[in-house]
A and B are shown apart, each in its own frame.
Chain A
Protein backbone atom coordinates (compact mmCIF):
# COMPACT_ATOMS: atom_id res chain seq x y z
CA UNK A 1 0.00 0.00 0.00
CA UNK A 2 3.03 2.25 -0.16
CA UNK A 3 1.79 4.05 -3.23
CA UNK A 4 -1.50 4.95 -1.66
CA UNK A 5 0.27 6.33 1.36
CA UNK A 6 2.49 8.42 -0.87
CA UNK A 7 -0.20 9.83 -3.08
CA UNK A 8 -2.16 11.01 -0.09
CA UNK A 9 0.72 12.52 1.79
CA UNK A 10 -0.02 16.04 0.59
CA UNK A 11 -3.59 15.88 1.88
CA UNK A 12 -3.34 16.68 5.55
CA UNK A 13 -6.82 18.04 5.74
CA UNK A 14 -7.40 16.79 9.24
CA UNK A 15 -4.90 18.79 11.20
CA UNK A 16 -6.76 19.75 14.36
CA UNK A 17 -8.09 23.26 14.39
CA UNK A 18 -6.89 25.52 17.18
CA UNK A 19 -8.68 24.82 20.42
CA UNK A 20 -9.34 27.49 23.03
CA UNK A 21 -9.16 26.73 26.75
CA UNK A 22 -12.90 27.01 27.17
CA UNK A 23 -13.40 24.35 24.50
CA UNK A 24 -11.57 21.62 26.35
CA UNK A 25 -13.76 18.84 27.61
CA UNK A 26 -12.18 19.10 31.08
CA UNK A 27 -13.58 22.58 31.42
CA UNK A 28 -16.95 21.29 30.25
CA UNK A 29 -17.05 18.45 32.75
CA UNK A 30 -15.83 20.38 35.78
CA UNK A 31 -18.06 23.37 35.01
CA UNK A 32 -21.10 21.15 34.66
CA UNK A 33 -20.25 19.28 37.85
CA UNK A 34 -20.05 22.58 39.78
CA UNK A 35 -23.24 23.90 38.26
CA UNK A 36 -25.19 20.70 38.78
CA UNK A 37 -24.01 19.85 42.31
CA UNK A 38 -23.11 23.05 44.12
CA UNK A 39 -25.13 25.85 42.58
CA UNK A 40 -28.58 24.44 43.45
CA UNK A 41 -27.76 24.78 47.18
CA UNK A 42 -27.88 28.53 46.84
CA UNK A 43 -30.99 29.08 44.76
CA UNK A 44 -34.60 29.62 45.71
CA UNK A 45 -37.47 27.16 45.45
CA UNK A 46 -38.65 28.47 42.11
CA UNK A 47 -35.28 28.04 40.43
CA UNK A 48 -34.88 24.66 42.07
CA UNK A 49 -38.21 23.58 40.59
CA UNK A 50 -37.13 24.67 37.13
CA UNK A 51 -33.80 22.87 37.52
CA UNK A 52 -35.60 19.68 38.52
CA UNK A 53 -37.88 19.88 35.50
CA UNK A 54 -34.83 20.52 33.34
CA UNK A 55 -33.19 17.32 34.54
CA UNK A 56 -36.41 15.32 34.05
CA UNK A 57 -36.48 16.49 30.45
CA UNK A 58 -32.76 15.80 30.11
CA UNK A 59 -33.36 12.16 31.13
CA UNK A 60 -36.27 11.95 28.73
CA UNK A 61 -34.23 13.42 25.86
CA UNK A 62 -31.29 11.13 26.70
CA UNK A 63 -33.56 8.14 26.35
CA UNK A 64 -35.07 9.31 23.05
CA UNK A 65 -31.58 10.02 21.78
CA UNK A 66 -30.77 6.32 22.15
CA UNK A 67 -33.45 5.48 19.58
CA UNK A 68 -33.22 8.51 17.32
CA UNK A 69 -29.65 9.72 17.69
CA UNK A 70 -27.74 6.46 18.00
CA UNK A 71 -29.97 4.04 16.11
CA UNK A 72 -31.44 6.48 13.60
CA UNK A 73 -35.03 5.34 14.21
CA UNK A 74 -37.17 8.45 14.43
CA UNK A 75 -39.93 7.43 16.81
CA UNK A 76 -42.36 10.23 17.56
CA UNK A 77 -44.30 8.47 20.27
CA UNK A 78 -41.75 8.65 23.03
CA UNK A 79 -43.95 10.77 25.29
CA UNK A 80 -46.24 7.74 25.58
CA UNK A 81 -43.59 5.94 27.65
CA UNK A 82 -43.19 9.00 29.87
CA UNK A 83 -46.95 9.10 30.42
CA UNK A 84 -47.23 5.35 30.98
CA UNK A 85 -44.47 5.45 33.59
CA UNK A 86 -46.14 8.40 35.30
CA UNK A 87 -49.65 6.94 35.36
CA UNK A 88 -48.63 3.39 36.31
CA UNK A 89 -46.54 4.56 39.21
CA UNK A 90 -49.12 7.13 40.40
CA UNK A 91 -52.04 4.67 40.21
CA UNK A 92 -50.11 1.93 42.00
CA UNK A 93 -49.37 4.28 44.85
CA UNK A 94 -52.91 5.71 45.02
CA UNK A 95 -54.89 2.46 44.62
CA UNK A 96 -52.59 -0.04 46.27
CA UNK A 97 -50.40 2.14 48.46
CA UNK A 98 -47.28 0.89 46.70
CA UNK A 99 -44.14 2.77 47.62
CA UNK A 100 -43.11 5.26 44.89
CA UNK A 101 -39.63 3.72 44.98
CA UNK A 102 -41.07 0.48 43.61
CA UNK A 103 -43.29 2.54 41.32
CA UNK A 104 -40.15 3.95 39.74
CA UNK A 105 -39.06 0.46 38.70
CA UNK A 106 -42.51 -0.90 37.85
CA UNK A 107 -43.45 2.26 35.93
CA UNK A 108 -40.24 1.84 33.96
CA UNK A 109 -40.93 -1.85 33.49
CA UNK A 110 -44.45 -1.36 32.13
CA UNK A 111 -43.14 1.38 29.83
CA UNK A 112 -40.43 -1.04 28.64
CA UNK A 113 -43.06 -3.67 27.85
CA UNK A 114 -45.06 -1.14 25.85
CA UNK A 115 -41.80 -0.18 24.16
CA UNK A 116 -41.43 -3.77 23.00
CA UNK A 117 -45.06 -3.84 21.84
CA UNK A 118 -44.67 -0.70 19.73
CA UNK A 119 -41.32 -1.81 18.33
CA UNK A 120 -42.83 -4.98 16.84
CA UNK A 121 -44.62 -3.23 13.96
CA UNK A 122 -41.68 -0.82 13.62
CA UNK A 123 -39.31 -3.73 12.92
CA UNK A 124 -40.82 -4.30 9.51
CA UNK A 125 -40.66 -0.65 8.48
CA UNK A 126 -37.66 1.11 7.04
CA UNK A 127 -39.09 4.36 5.72
CA UNK A 128 -38.95 7.13 8.30
CA UNK A 129 -42.38 8.67 7.55
CA UNK A 130 -44.19 5.40 8.31
CA UNK A 131 -42.30 4.92 11.54
CA UNK A 132 -43.11 8.51 12.55
CA UNK A 133 -46.83 8.10 11.87
CA UNK A 134 -47.03 4.70 13.52
CA UNK A 135 -45.33 5.79 16.74
CA UNK A 136 -47.22 9.07 16.89
CA UNK A 137 -50.46 7.16 16.44
CA UNK A 138 -49.52 4.77 19.23
CA UNK A 139 -48.96 7.68 21.62
CA UNK A 140 -52.33 9.22 20.68
CA UNK A 141 -54.01 5.89 21.43
CA UNK A 142 -52.36 5.75 24.85
CA UNK A 143 -53.51 9.29 25.54
CA UNK A 144 -57.09 8.51 24.48
CA UNK A 145 -57.17 5.41 26.65
CA UNK A 146 -55.92 7.32 29.68
CA UNK A 147 -58.39 10.17 29.21
CA UNK A 148 -61.33 7.81 28.67
CA UNK A 149 -60.74 5.31 31.45
CA UNK A 150 -62.45 7.77 33.76
CA UNK A 151 -63.10 5.16 36.45
CA UNK A 152 -59.42 4.49 36.86
CA UNK A 153 -57.63 7.70 35.89
CA UNK A 154 -60.39 10.28 36.46
CA UNK A 155 -59.86 11.27 32.81
CA UNK A 156 -59.15 14.91 32.12
CA UNK A 157 -59.82 15.79 35.76
CA UNK A 158 -56.50 14.21 36.44
CA UNK A 159 -54.97 12.58 39.48
CA UNK A 160 -54.01 14.65 42.45
CA UNK A 161 -52.52 13.99 45.85
CA UNK A 162 -49.98 11.54 44.52
CA UNK A 163 -47.59 10.53 47.29
CA UNK A 164 -44.09 11.99 47.14
CA UNK A 165 -41.14 9.59 47.43
CA UNK A 166 -41.05 8.10 50.93
CA UNK A 167 -38.35 9.56 53.14
CA UNK A 168 -35.11 7.72 53.59
CA UNK A 169 -34.25 8.31 57.26
CA UNK A 170 -34.34 12.05 57.73
CA UNK A 171 -34.16 12.83 54.01
CA UNK A 172 -37.65 13.58 52.79
CA UNK A 173 -38.76 14.35 49.26
CA UNK A 174 -41.92 16.41 49.71
CA UNK A 175 -42.40 19.84 48.21
CA UNK A 176 -40.87 21.47 51.28
CA UNK A 177 -37.58 19.74 50.53
CA UNK A 178 -37.12 20.37 46.85
CA UNK A 179 -33.35 20.21 47.06
CA UNK A 180 -33.53 16.49 47.93
CA UNK A 181 -35.78 15.79 44.96
CA UNK A 182 -33.35 17.70 42.80
CA UNK A 183 -30.44 15.56 43.95
CA UNK A 184 -32.51 12.43 43.42
CA UNK A 185 -33.19 13.23 39.75
CA UNK A 186 -29.55 14.29 39.37
CA UNK A 187 -28.52 10.86 40.63
CA UNK A 188 -31.01 9.21 38.24
CA UNK A 189 -29.60 11.24 35.37
CA UNK A 190 -25.99 10.31 36.23
CA UNK A 191 -27.00 6.66 36.35
CA UNK A 192 -28.70 6.99 32.97
CA UNK A 193 -25.63 8.68 31.46
CA UNK A 194 -23.47 5.89 32.88
CA UNK A 195 -25.71 3.17 31.43
CA UNK A 196 -25.86 4.86 28.02
CA UNK A 197 -22.07 5.31 27.91
CA UNK A 198 -21.69 1.65 28.79
CA UNK A 199 -24.14 0.51 26.10
CA UNK A 200 -22.78 2.81 23.41
CA UNK A 201 -19.16 1.79 23.87
CA UNK A 202 -19.98 -1.93 23.82
CA UNK A 203 -20.96 -4.26 20.99
CA UNK A 204 -24.63 -3.30 21.27
CA UNK A 205 -23.78 0.35 20.73
CA UNK A 206 -21.73 -0.58 17.70
CA UNK A 207 -24.66 -2.56 16.31
CA UNK A 208 -27.06 0.33 16.88
CA UNK A 209 -24.80 2.86 15.21
CA UNK A 210 -24.25 0.55 12.24
CA UNK A 211 -28.02 0.22 11.88
CA UNK A 212 -28.27 4.01 11.75
CA UNK A 213 -25.65 4.14 8.99
CA UNK A 214 -26.74 1.26 6.77
CA UNK A 215 -29.10 -1.53 7.72
CA UNK A 216 -28.04 -3.72 4.79
CA UNK A 217 -24.34 -3.49 5.51
CA UNK A 218 -24.98 -4.07 9.21
CA UNK A 219 -27.03 -7.17 8.51
CA UNK A 220 -24.46 -8.64 6.13
CA UNK A 221 -21.84 -8.34 8.89
CA UNK A 222 -23.96 -10.35 11.27
CA UNK A 223 -25.94 -7.68 13.15
CA UNK A 224 -29.35 -9.01 14.17
CA UNK A 225 -31.59 -6.08 13.24
CA UNK A 226 -34.69 -7.33 15.07
CA UNK A 227 -32.93 -8.00 18.34
CA UNK A 228 -31.05 -4.73 18.31
CA UNK A 229 -34.15 -2.67 17.60
CA UNK A 230 -36.21 -4.47 20.25
CA UNK A 231 -33.43 -3.90 22.74
CA UNK A 232 -33.06 -0.20 22.08
CA UNK A 233 -36.82 0.41 22.22
CA UNK A 234 -37.06 -1.50 25.48
CA UNK A 235 -34.16 0.30 27.14
CA UNK A 236 -35.18 3.77 26.04
CA UNK A 237 -38.82 3.18 27.02
CA UNK A 238 -37.68 1.98 30.44
CA UNK A 239 -35.67 5.15 31.03
CA UNK A 240 -38.54 7.33 29.81
CA UNK A 241 -40.90 5.43 32.12
CA UNK A 242 -38.62 6.06 35.08
CA UNK A 243 -38.53 9.76 34.20
CA UNK A 244 -42.34 9.76 34.04
CA UNK A 245 -42.66 8.03 37.36
CA UNK A 246 -40.29 10.52 38.97
CA UNK A 247 -42.31 13.36 37.48
CA UNK A 248 -45.56 11.97 38.92
CA UNK A 249 -44.23 11.73 42.47
CA UNK A 250 -42.43 15.03 42.24
CA UNK A 251 -45.23 17.23 40.85
CA UNK A 252 -47.87 15.06 42.56
CA UNK A 253 -50.55 16.00 40.01
CA UNK A 254 -51.15 14.30 36.65
CA UNK A 255 -53.45 15.03 33.75
CA UNK A 256 -53.39 13.29 30.37
CA UNK A 257 -52.32 16.47 28.59
CA UNK A 258 -49.52 17.27 31.05
CA UNK A 259 -47.67 13.98 30.47
CA UNK A 260 -49.13 12.58 27.25
CA UNK A 261 -49.53 15.71 25.14
CA UNK A 262 -47.72 15.81 21.82
CA UNK A 263 -46.03 19.02 23.00
CA UNK A 264 -43.89 16.84 25.29
CA UNK A 265 -42.64 15.03 22.19
CA UNK A 266 -41.90 18.35 20.49
CA UNK A 267 -39.94 19.42 23.55
CA UNK A 268 -37.90 16.18 23.52
CA UNK A 269 -37.18 16.61 19.83
CA UNK A 270 -36.13 20.24 20.11
CA UNK A 271 -33.94 19.59 23.16
CA UNK A 272 -32.10 16.75 21.47
CA UNK A 273 -31.64 18.46 18.11
CA UNK A 274 -30.41 21.72 19.67
CA UNK A 275 -28.06 19.91 22.03
CA UNK A 276 -26.79 17.38 19.53
CA UNK A 277 -28.33 14.17 18.20
CA UNK A 278 -26.24 11.10 18.89
CA UNK A 279 -24.17 12.68 21.66
CA UNK A 280 -24.22 12.00 25.40
CA UNK A 281 -24.06 15.56 26.69
CA UNK A 282 -26.12 17.16 23.94
CA UNK A 283 -29.54 16.30 25.39
CA UNK A 284 -28.47 17.61 28.82
CA UNK A 285 -27.21 20.95 27.51
CA UNK A 286 -30.18 21.14 25.17
CA UNK A 287 -32.53 20.65 28.09
CA UNK A 288 -30.93 23.53 29.99
CA UNK A 289 -31.25 25.80 26.98
CA UNK A 290 -34.81 24.89 26.07
CA UNK A 291 -36.52 24.30 29.43
CA UNK A 292 -34.82 27.15 31.26
CA UNK A 293 -34.97 29.42 28.23
CA UNK A 294 -38.72 28.97 27.90
CA UNK A 295 -39.20 29.49 31.62
CA UNK A 296 -37.19 32.68 31.92
CA UNK A 297 -38.73 34.15 28.81
CA UNK A 298 -42.17 33.72 30.34
CA UNK A 299 -42.53 37.50 30.75
CA UNK A 300 -42.80 37.72 26.96
CA UNK A 301 -46.03 35.72 27.04
CA UNK A 302 -46.64 33.67 23.94
CA UNK A 303 -44.07 35.66 22.00
CA UNK A 304 -41.45 33.43 23.60
CA UNK A 305 -42.60 30.62 21.36
CA UNK A 306 -41.57 32.75 18.42
CA UNK A 307 -38.07 33.10 19.85
CA UNK A 308 -38.07 29.35 20.46
CA UNK A 309 -38.88 28.79 16.78
CA UNK A 310 -36.24 31.23 15.58
CA UNK A 311 -33.57 29.65 17.79
CA UNK A 312 -34.46 26.22 16.50
CA UNK A 313 -34.23 27.33 12.87
CA UNK A 314 -30.89 29.07 13.49
CA UNK A 315 -29.44 26.01 15.21
CA UNK A 316 -30.47 23.76 12.37
CA UNK A 317 -28.99 26.11 9.79
CA UNK A 318 -25.73 26.97 11.53
CA UNK A 319 -24.98 23.97 13.69
CA UNK A 320 -26.83 20.93 12.41
CA UNK A 321 -24.63 18.68 14.55
CA UNK A 322 -25.89 20.47 17.66
CA UNK A 323 -24.41 22.96 20.10
CA UNK A 324 -22.30 20.44 21.97
CA UNK A 325 -20.26 19.43 18.91
CA UNK A 326 -19.91 23.03 17.81
CA UNK A 327 -18.46 24.32 21.07
CA UNK A 328 -16.78 21.24 22.49
CA UNK A 329 -15.55 19.35 19.50
CA UNK A 330 -14.23 16.43 21.49
CA UNK A 331 -17.23 15.96 23.76
CA UNK A 332 -19.06 12.69 23.45
Chain B
Protein backbone atom coordinates (compact mmCIF):
# COMPACT_ATOMS: atom_id res chain seq x y z
CA UNK B 1 0.00 0.00 0.00
CA UNK B 2 2.68 2.48 1.06
CA UNK B 3 6.30 2.19 0.17
CA UNK B 4 9.17 4.36 1.20
CA UNK B 5 12.16 4.13 -1.05
CA UNK B 6 15.65 5.17 0.07
CA UNK B 7 14.74 8.48 1.70
CA UNK B 8 17.18 10.94 3.23
CA UNK B 9 15.65 13.40 5.69
CA UNK B 10 17.39 16.39 7.25
CA UNK B 11 16.66 18.74 10.12
CA UNK B 12 18.46 21.77 8.76
CA UNK B 13 22.03 20.59 8.24
CA UNK B 14 21.70 17.43 10.26
CA UNK B 15 20.83 14.24 8.44
CA UNK B 16 18.45 12.18 10.55
CA UNK B 17 17.33 9.48 8.12
CA UNK B 18 19.82 7.71 5.86
CA UNK B 19 18.58 5.87 2.79
CA UNK B 20 15.65 4.31 4.59
CA UNK B 21 13.23 1.98 2.80
CA UNK B 22 10.14 0.43 4.29
CA UNK B 23 7.13 -1.32 2.86
CA UNK B 24 3.70 -1.34 4.46
CA UNK B 25 1.27 -3.92 3.19
CA UNK B 26 -2.43 -3.24 3.03
CA UNK B 27 -4.42 -4.36 6.06
CA UNK B 28 -1.39 -5.12 8.22
CA UNK B 29 -0.03 -3.62 11.38
CA UNK B 30 3.55 -2.49 11.03
CA UNK B 31 5.66 -1.35 13.95
CA UNK B 32 8.60 1.01 13.86
CA UNK B 33 10.77 0.40 16.91
CA UNK B 34 13.91 1.95 18.21
CA UNK B 35 15.37 3.94 21.05
CA UNK B 36 15.15 7.69 21.56
CA UNK B 37 16.49 9.69 18.67
CA UNK B 38 16.54 6.77 16.26
CA UNK B 39 14.37 8.74 13.83
CA UNK B 40 11.03 6.99 14.26
CA UNK B 41 8.94 10.13 14.60
CA UNK B 42 10.86 11.71 11.76
CA UNK B 43 9.71 8.92 9.47
CA UNK B 44 6.07 9.52 10.40
CA UNK B 45 6.45 13.26 9.99
CA UNK B 46 7.89 12.68 6.54
CA UNK B 47 5.04 10.38 5.57
CA UNK B 48 2.45 12.95 6.63
CA UNK B 49 4.25 15.68 4.72
CA UNK B 50 5.37 17.85 7.64
CA UNK B 51 8.95 17.09 6.58
CA UNK B 52 10.19 16.55 3.05
CA UNK B 53 12.82 14.00 2.04
CA UNK B 54 15.85 15.43 0.25
CA UNK B 55 16.25 12.21 -1.67
CA UNK B 56 14.12 9.15 -2.34
CA UNK B 57 10.40 8.65 -2.73
CA UNK B 58 7.27 8.07 -0.69
CA UNK B 59 4.74 6.20 -2.77
CA UNK B 60 1.10 5.54 -1.98
CA UNK B 61 0.05 3.16 -4.72
CA UNK B 62 1.41 5.07 -7.68
CA UNK B 63 1.14 8.55 -6.15
CA UNK B 64 4.20 10.44 -4.97
CA UNK B 65 3.25 11.66 -1.48
CA UNK B 66 6.45 13.67 -1.12
CA UNK B 67 5.41 15.91 -4.00
CA UNK B 68 1.93 17.01 -2.91
CA UNK B 69 0.81 19.71 -0.46
CA UNK B 70 1.05 18.51 3.16
CA UNK B 71 -2.51 19.63 3.90
CA UNK B 72 -3.91 17.38 1.15
CA UNK B 73 -2.15 14.21 2.29
CA UNK B 74 -4.94 13.66 4.78
CA UNK B 75 -7.38 13.40 1.84
CA UNK B 76 -5.33 10.54 0.39
CA UNK B 77 -6.41 8.36 3.28
CA UNK B 78 -3.46 8.75 5.60
CA UNK B 79 -4.06 10.09 9.10
CA UNK B 80 -1.45 10.89 11.72
CA UNK B 81 -1.87 10.79 15.49
CA UNK B 82 1.11 12.91 16.54
CA UNK B 83 3.37 12.30 19.49
CA UNK B 84 2.08 13.88 22.68
CA UNK B 85 -1.37 14.04 21.07
CA UNK B 86 -1.20 17.74 20.15
CA UNK B 87 -4.82 18.44 20.96
CA UNK B 88 -6.30 21.91 20.77
CA UNK B 89 -6.56 22.05 24.53
CA UNK B 90 -8.81 25.07 24.89
CA UNK B 91 -11.27 23.89 22.29
CA UNK B 92 -14.09 21.50 23.06
CA UNK B 93 -13.85 17.76 22.40
CA UNK B 94 -16.29 18.11 19.53
CA UNK B 95 -14.39 21.01 17.98
CA UNK B 96 -11.20 18.96 18.19
CA UNK B 97 -12.86 16.06 16.42
CA UNK B 98 -14.35 18.27 13.71
CA UNK B 99 -10.89 19.71 13.08
CA UNK B 100 -10.00 16.22 11.85
CA UNK B 101 -12.43 16.73 8.97
CA UNK B 102 -11.37 20.29 8.23
CA UNK B 103 -9.98 19.57 4.78
CA UNK B 104 -12.52 20.61 2.10
CA UNK B 105 -13.12 17.13 0.73
CA UNK B 106 -13.88 15.76 4.17
CA UNK B 107 -15.94 18.65 5.52
CA UNK B 108 -19.23 17.56 3.95
CA UNK B 109 -19.17 14.20 5.76
CA UNK B 110 -18.17 15.56 9.14
CA UNK B 111 -21.52 14.88 10.84
CA UNK B 112 -21.62 11.20 9.84
CA UNK B 113 -18.02 10.72 10.81
CA UNK B 114 -18.60 12.41 14.14
CA UNK B 115 -21.39 9.94 14.82
CA UNK B 116 -19.01 7.09 13.95
CA UNK B 117 -16.45 8.41 16.45
CA UNK B 118 -19.09 8.79 19.15
CA UNK B 119 -20.21 5.20 18.55
CA UNK B 120 -16.61 4.13 18.91
CA UNK B 121 -16.00 6.25 22.02
CA UNK B 122 -19.29 6.83 23.87
CA UNK B 123 -17.24 8.51 26.56
CA UNK B 124 -16.30 11.32 24.20
CA UNK B 125 -19.95 11.95 23.44
CA UNK B 126 -20.57 12.48 27.15
CA UNK B 127 -17.79 15.03 27.21
CA UNK B 128 -18.29 16.62 23.85
CA UNK B 129 -18.64 20.17 25.16
CA UNK B 130 -15.76 19.93 27.62
CA UNK B 131 -12.42 21.58 26.88
CA UNK B 132 -10.03 18.90 25.61
CA UNK B 133 -7.25 20.06 27.95
CA UNK B 134 -9.34 19.11 30.99
CA UNK B 135 -9.68 15.44 30.02
CA UNK B 136 -7.65 12.60 31.49
CA UNK B 137 -4.66 11.30 29.56
CA UNK B 138 -6.52 8.26 28.25
CA UNK B 139 -9.47 10.36 27.11
CA UNK B 140 -7.13 12.80 25.40
CA UNK B 141 -5.58 9.91 23.50
CA UNK B 142 -9.10 8.87 22.45
CA UNK B 143 -9.72 12.39 21.15
CA UNK B 144 -6.42 12.32 19.27
CA UNK B 145 -7.24 8.98 17.66
CA UNK B 146 -10.82 10.06 17.04
CA UNK B 147 -9.62 13.25 15.36
CA UNK B 148 -7.43 11.19 13.04
CA UNK B 149 -10.29 8.80 12.29
CA UNK B 150 -12.55 11.70 11.29
CA UNK B 151 -10.89 11.60 7.88
CA UNK B 152 -11.96 7.95 7.43
CA UNK B 153 -8.35 6.96 6.75
CA UNK B 154 -7.20 3.81 5.02
CA UNK B 155 -3.99 4.03 6.98
CA UNK B 156 -3.52 5.29 10.52
CA UNK B 157 -0.10 6.32 11.80
CA UNK B 158 0.27 6.44 15.57
CA UNK B 159 3.25 8.05 17.24
CA UNK B 160 3.87 6.65 20.72
CA UNK B 161 0.23 6.14 21.71
CA UNK B 162 1.34 4.68 25.04
CA UNK B 163 3.29 7.77 26.07
CA UNK B 164 2.50 8.88 29.60
CA UNK B 165 -0.49 6.60 30.08
CA UNK B 166 -1.23 4.14 32.87
CA UNK B 167 -0.59 0.48 31.91
CA UNK B 168 -4.25 -0.40 32.01
CA UNK B 169 -5.14 2.41 29.64
CA UNK B 170 -2.25 1.52 27.36
CA UNK B 171 -3.73 -1.94 27.13
CA UNK B 172 -7.13 -0.65 26.08
CA UNK B 173 -5.62 1.76 23.55
CA UNK B 174 -3.80 -1.18 21.96
CA UNK B 175 -6.99 -3.24 21.97
CA UNK B 176 -8.61 -0.40 20.10
CA UNK B 177 -5.76 -0.28 17.58
CA UNK B 178 -6.23 -3.99 16.95
CA UNK B 179 -9.98 -3.51 16.49
CA UNK B 180 -9.36 -0.75 13.97
CA UNK B 181 -6.96 -3.02 12.12
CA UNK B 182 -9.63 -5.74 11.99
CA UNK B 183 -11.98 -3.20 10.45
CA UNK B 184 -9.48 -2.96 7.61
CA UNK B 185 -7.44 0.08 8.53
CA UNK B 186 -3.72 -0.36 7.87
CA UNK B 187 -1.72 0.59 10.95
CA UNK B 188 1.75 2.08 11.21
CA UNK B 189 2.82 2.23 14.80
CA UNK B 190 5.81 3.97 16.34
CA UNK B 191 6.61 2.76 19.82
CA UNK B 192 9.31 2.70 22.43
CA UNK B 193 7.39 0.04 24.29
CA UNK B 194 8.65 -2.73 22.00
CA UNK B 195 7.05 -5.57 23.90
CA UNK B 196 3.49 -4.44 23.38
CA UNK B 197 4.15 -3.21 19.84
CA UNK B 198 5.58 -6.57 18.76
CA UNK B 199 2.60 -8.33 20.29
CA UNK B 200 0.10 -6.65 18.02
CA UNK B 201 2.11 -6.12 14.85
CA UNK B 202 2.60 -8.34 11.81
CA UNK B 203 5.88 -6.92 10.65
CA UNK B 204 8.42 -4.69 12.38
CA UNK B 205 11.37 -2.52 11.63
CA UNK B 206 13.98 -1.63 14.20
CA UNK B 207 15.58 1.75 13.58
CA UNK B 208 19.00 2.79 14.76
CA UNK B 209 20.54 6.16 13.98
CA UNK B 210 18.21 6.70 11.04
CA UNK B 211 18.87 3.33 9.42
CA UNK B 212 17.04 0.03 9.52
CA UNK B 213 19.04 -2.15 11.90
CA UNK B 214 16.70 -5.10 11.80
CA UNK B 215 13.41 -6.12 10.27
CA UNK B 216 11.19 -9.12 10.14
CA UNK B 217 7.97 -10.75 11.20
CA UNK B 218 7.08 -9.77 14.71
CA UNK B 219 7.24 -13.29 16.12
CA UNK B 220 10.74 -13.79 14.70
CA UNK B 221 11.94 -10.48 16.04
CA UNK B 222 10.59 -11.33 19.42
CA UNK B 223 13.03 -14.22 19.58
CA UNK B 224 15.93 -12.25 18.26
CA UNK B 225 18.45 -11.90 21.02
CA UNK B 226 19.58 -8.56 19.67
CA UNK B 227 16.16 -7.01 20.01
CA UNK B 228 15.81 -8.44 23.45
CA UNK B 229 18.98 -6.83 24.61
CA UNK B 230 18.63 -3.53 22.88
CA UNK B 231 14.96 -2.71 23.13
CA UNK B 232 13.09 -5.07 25.35
CA UNK B 233 15.55 -4.71 28.18
CA UNK B 234 15.49 -8.42 28.85
Interface residues of A (CB under 8 A from B): 1-5, 7-8, 11, 14, 203, 206-207, 209-210, 212-214, 216-224, 278
Contact = CB atoms under 8 A, between A and B. Distances in A.
A1 to B, nearest CB: 6
B139 A222 contact: no
Interface stretch (B86-94, B194-202, B226-234): B86-94
B84 to A, nearest CB: 10
Contacts of B88: 209-210, 213-214, 217-218
Interface in B102-161: 102-104, 106-107, 120-123, 127, 130, 134, 136, 138-139, 142, 147
B95 A11 contact: no
Contacts of B107: 203
B1 to A, nearest CB: 21
Contacts of A203: 102, 107
Given A3-B169, A4-B169, A221 B99 contact: yes
A213 B91 CA distance: 8
B50 A210 contact: no
Nearest to A213: B88
Interface of B: 48-50, 70-72, 74-75, 80, 82, 86-91, 95, 98-100, 102-104, 106-107, 120-123, 127, 130, 134, 136, 138-139, 142, 147, 166, 168-169, 171-173, 175-176
A75 to B, nearest CB: 20
A227 to B, nearest CB: 11
B157 to A, nearest CB: 11
Contacts of A5: 122-123
Contact of B50 (A1, A220, A278): A220
Contacts of B168: 3, 7
A36 B102 CA distance: 38
Contacts, number: 96
B130 A14 contact: yes
Given A1-B175, A210-B88, A221-B74, 6 more contacts: A1-B121, A3-B168, A203-B107, A217-B86, A221-B99, A223-B71
Q: Max chain A CB contacts within 10 Å: which of B71, B87, B104?
A: B71
11 contacts: A1-B123, A1-B172, A206-B95, A206-B102, A214-B88, A220-B70, A222-B71, A222-B103, A222-B106, A223-B102, A224-B71
Q: Which DSSP category, helix, strand, loop or mixed, fits chain B's interface?
A: helix
A212 B88 CA distance: 9
Contacts of A221: 71, 74, 99-100, 102-103, 147
B103 A8 contact: no
Contacts of A213: 87-91
Going nearest first, the 5 A-B pairs with the smallest beta carbon separation are A222-B103, A213-B88, A3-B172, A222-B71, A217-B86
A78 to B, nearest CB: 22
Nearest to B173: A4
B172 A210 contact: no
A7 B123 contact: no
Contacts of B136: 8, 11
Nearest to B69: A222
Contacts of A220: 48-50, 70-71, 74, 80, 82
A150 B130 CA distance: 55
A278 B121 CA distance: 29
Of A5, A217, A221, A223, the most chain B CB neighbours within 10 A belong to A221
B138 A8 contact: yes
B139 A8 contact: yes
A319 to B, nearest CB: 16
A206 B172 CA distance: 30
A7 B147 CA distance: 22
B215 to A, nearest CB: 27
A209 B95 contact: yes
A107 B232 CA distance: 68
Nearest to A207: B102
Nearest to A205: B95
A219 B99 CA distance: 11
Given A4-B123, A217-B82, A206 B98 contact: yes
B43 to A, nearest CB: 15
Nearest to B80: A220
A4 B139 contact: yes
Contacts of B95: 206, 209
B171 A3 contact: yes
A87 B131 CA distance: 43
A5 B126 CA distance: 11
Nearest to B150: A221
A129 B49 CA distance: 29
